[in-house]
Chains A and B, each alone.
Chain A
């Protein structure tokens, strides 16, 4: 449940609707009612406003804190740190990006084994987004030229297949052609 919320763009879209729809409902109700049905000043008790105010702020804080705590385990920053200290054998995939190609060092990527992607840009800003064969973005990284350390994170693939890599930072007139593939094979055990 939380997996599909925090590990997919559609989960994010669902969260926007979750925040938006109740707002729209209440907003339009109040505005419509107080403009066209009964624009007389409300007779609501002052105490009630204060109570409502407190409830509203409490609810907002609760939702905000809840979402951001629940998401911690799904942050690649957190899962990368976890994988790096787990003692597991990590496959290193180093690459560079320049307009408009990626250049990978040779590596065999297996299902179930953590892969550390580390990339540097040699000219301008580039992205490195890995797309699942279904078209879903697994993760994206931003490569800024001139950095001493590469941009890097650890990802563990769960399915074999051919994954598409795209640059998601606009990098000039052939940006849309900056594309590559990585092949993930079934683990040998």
Chain B
């Protein structure tokens, strides 16, 4: 038995929500992904509670230190151990089942351990006072030690955690994906739904794994040097080149930006794959594979250098021409998105849809993602960037892209869940979840963008200062809607029923296998 299966079995709640079905011989592709997905839900719960707490802390004047702690912990839990981990779980399951390769051995264990232990260490550091918002504010983590905001030990603890998370995302996960897709023996017994790499449902996953590995390597090298110096193994002076803020910042953003784009590539691929399975005429054909793949290629190429848009307001230290380049590349990703919109709608029109809670969730995730795309291209325009950079607009954009991507995955789970556990989720509850959650997410996103338009700063513990509290209250309101939606989503897993025990006609249920 795989250690993932043991953990799933022995952990309370996990064993109710995601006990993998061991009778079907698919443990090797089910267990690790299931464990990753259910663990990501724990981080989502943490992030969600903190997210709802943040406006409350300001409204009730509970202290600015507490606000910055909640802010840092919220971002840390949401971005990596939730969104990234849920993506890892589902994409490994999809990749394994599509090419017939096991997700077992050392690599999945390393991905899982480094991600969760790393995120836990970072969380402990945050509770000890390491309030940096996100590490991208470098050199704040180091400066904060110098002016007594937190201790050196806390810094080392936090960077150790971040280092582990980076190894999980930049090395172990991409290597595992590439290993599954391009190397090793195919095992017919593990094939759920065979797909070639040219299939739009697969292409994005391969591209994304390569992007993470390639664009992440410089940051990994720099982060490793810094970490080794922090441990005192080499003198800090020897890594002066790596601790130079401009070096760290550019290495960080080439990765962080492309990380987001990689997640988008991967999830759009997932949307294509899922959509094909829920067509009314059963043809399992997109409107056009070529157009679908073109959208992925455009997204890939334009995203590489669009990260310059993070530094537009550094002018003239970022030359105007690179600012404009980042501007145009960002709008170029919009062309890719426009092609995927057309593909999805034309596919629906041509083949009809067999609507289900899972497909609805995927499509609403796509709507949220497109809303985010609109906010992202607008703020990437050089003229607008000078008014919006550093405002709540950016927080709205970050939150919305993370939510959009994860909701699409949460929809894809409806399709994978029966394969993993032999159990079914309730459709009606699923519709309730996505309805409440979409209203909450779209509402919160628009309010945050509006706050940014009104000059409300992001990562700012005093909204009352400029009369921005009303935006905070509205964010709270929509945040609560999202929270209720998520509770329903979790309840659905707790209440899931054995497929054999179902008496409904199979026509109303999604196929148990892909």
Which chain A residues have a beta carbon within 8 Å of chain B's beta carbons? 6-13, 15-16, 19-20, 23-24, 26-27, 30-31, 34-36, 38-42, 44, 49, 52-53, 56-57, 60-61, 64, 67-68, 71-72, 74-78, 80-81, 99, 123-125, 127, 129, 131, 135-142, 144-147, 149, 151-153, 166, 168-177, 179
Contact = CB atoms under 8 A, between A and B. Distances in A.
Interface string B338-372: 11011001101111111100000001000100110
A34 B386 CA distance: 42
B238 interface: no
B139 interface: yes
A99 B311 CA distance: 21
A24 B457 contact: no
A168 B390 contact: yes
Contacts of A137: 387-388, 391, 455
B457 A26 contact: no
Contact of A41 (B350, B355, B384, B462): B350
B383 A6 contact: yes
Contact of B144 (A12, A56, A172): A172
Given A53-B346, A170-B133, 7 more contacts: A16-B375, A20-B371, A27-B341, A40-B280, A71-B381, A124-B144, A135-B467
A146 B244 contact: yes
Nearest to B342: A56
A35 B355 contact: yes
Nearest to A176: B462
The prevalent SS among residues of B at the interface is helix
B335 A64 contact: yes
A75 B387 CA distance: 10
Instruction: State the 10 A-B residue pairs at the shortest beta-carbon distance, nearest first.
Output: A168-B390, A9-B453, A35-B355, A170-B459, A39-B352, A77-B320, A176-B462, A39-B280, A74-B383, A170-B133
Contacts of B133: 170
Contact of A140 (B149, B249, B313, B466): B313
Contacts, number: 257
A21 B484 CA distance: 26
Given A41-B350, A64-B334, A135 B466 contact: yes
Contacts of B353: 31, 34-35, 39
A9 B320 contact: no
14 contacts: A13-B450, A16-B449, A24-B367, A26-B345, A27-B345, A36-B355, A42-B350, A68-B328, A71-B383, A124-B143, A135-B455, A144-B314, A175-B459, A176-B461
Contacts of A38: 352
Contacts of B377: 19, 64
B291 A9 contact: no
B246 A144 contact: yes
Given A41-B350, A60-B335, A68-B331, A53 B342 contact: yes
B287 interface: yes
Contacts of A42: 349-352
Given A75-B382, A175-B460, A124 B140 contact: yes
A31 B348 contact: yes
B378 interface: yes
A147 B246 contact: yes
B317 A49 contact: no
